Structure formats: C-alpha cells, structure tokens
Amino acid sequence: MPAPENLPGFPVTNETVEEFYEWLFAPWVKELGLRDFVVSRGHVIAILPQSKKLEFASGAICGQVIMSAVDTVASLAMSTSDRPAKGTVYQHTHFLRPAMAEDMQVEATVLRFGKASAFAETKVTFLKSGELVAHATLEFAF
C-alpha cells in the first residue's frame, strides 16, 4: 500500500469518502450500489439499495452481498484514522432476517484502534423500519 500521503482521499472524511471509495474498491464492489455515505472518525453509514441484480430467486438480497457491504463500510470506517489498514483479517456475520423489499442502512463503528489491529461492529438494518437484518464483528490489520 502506498504511503498515507499518496492515498487519494485519505484519511476518509465526509468530503473525501467518494474519492477514496472510487480509488480503493473493485468495480464489482461498486456494483453493490452503496450510496449516501455519512462519515465521522471511526464511524461510517451508507445505504445499500434493494436491487433485482443482488437478489436470490426468492427476492431476498443474498448473504454474499450483505457481507461485502459490511466489509466495505467497515473498511471505510477503518480508513478514518491516520494509518491505512492492511486489510480485513476476520469477519463474523449473523443474519437475523431475510433482506427483502426495502433499502438497508449499513453502519460501521470502530470499537478500538490498536497498534497492530482494530475492531469494528457493523449493523445492517432496514432503512424504514429499523429492523436488524444482520450484525457483524470485524478485525483489521494495521
């Protein structure tokens, strides 16, 4: 990874999140459609829109999509510090209900920035009802 001063949009803020997002993530991650980022130190919220291209035959958004959205938003939250993360080393996700028929909010909060690693919690909720869809814990290497 380049030195922090050579990373476009780093550290991530409300003003730089789009630039960093465009630079860091693969094209298929961007196809998730994450939008409306809200950023503060150690905290990022984004909207994951319901989309036919992300659904199973049942109409539910598949778990791989939700896990990718969780990791993406948590990665952005990790990037609000002055040190770039080296990557995700652990993610554990619980799915509490099918993700059907409603846009979702993905909210990542860094619980602790450590010397060699950092820990985050991410909640995925339905945007309108606020019902919890998935909950994840993550660890990132620094």
Contact yes or no for 139/117 (Cβ under 8 A): yes
Which tokens in the block code for residue 2?
Answer: 């380049």
- What pLDDT, on the 0 to 100 scale, is given for residue 4? 74
**pLDDT of 43 strictly over 90:** yes
- What pLDDT, on the 0 to 100 scale, is given for residue 129? 96
**pLDDT of 6 strictly over 90:** no
- Share above pLDDT 70 across residues of the chain, in percent, rounded to a whole number: 99
pLDDT digits (tens, 9 = 90+) for 89-117: 999 999 999 999 899 999 999 999 999 99
- Share above pLDDT 90 across residues of the chain, in percent, rounded to a whole number: 92
Give the integer Cα–Cα distance in Å for 107 and 46: 7
- What pLDDT, on the 0 to 100 scale, is given for residue 3? 73
- What pLDDT, on the 0 to 100 scale, is given for residue 1? 63
DSSP string, 75-106: HHHHTTSSS---EEEEEEEEE-S--BSS-EEE
**Domains of the chain: residue spans and CATH:** 4-141 (3.10.129.10)
Residue 76, exposed/middle/buried by CB under 10 A (0-12, 13-18, 19+)? Answer: buried
pLDDT digits (tens, 9 = 90+) for 54-96: 998 889 999 999 999 999 999 999 999 999 999 999 999 999 9
Helices (H) and strands (E) in the chain, counts: 3, 6
Residue 122, exposed/middle/buried by CB under 10 A (0-12, 13-18, 19+)? Answer: buried
- What pLDDT, on the 0 to 100 scale, is given for residue 22? 97
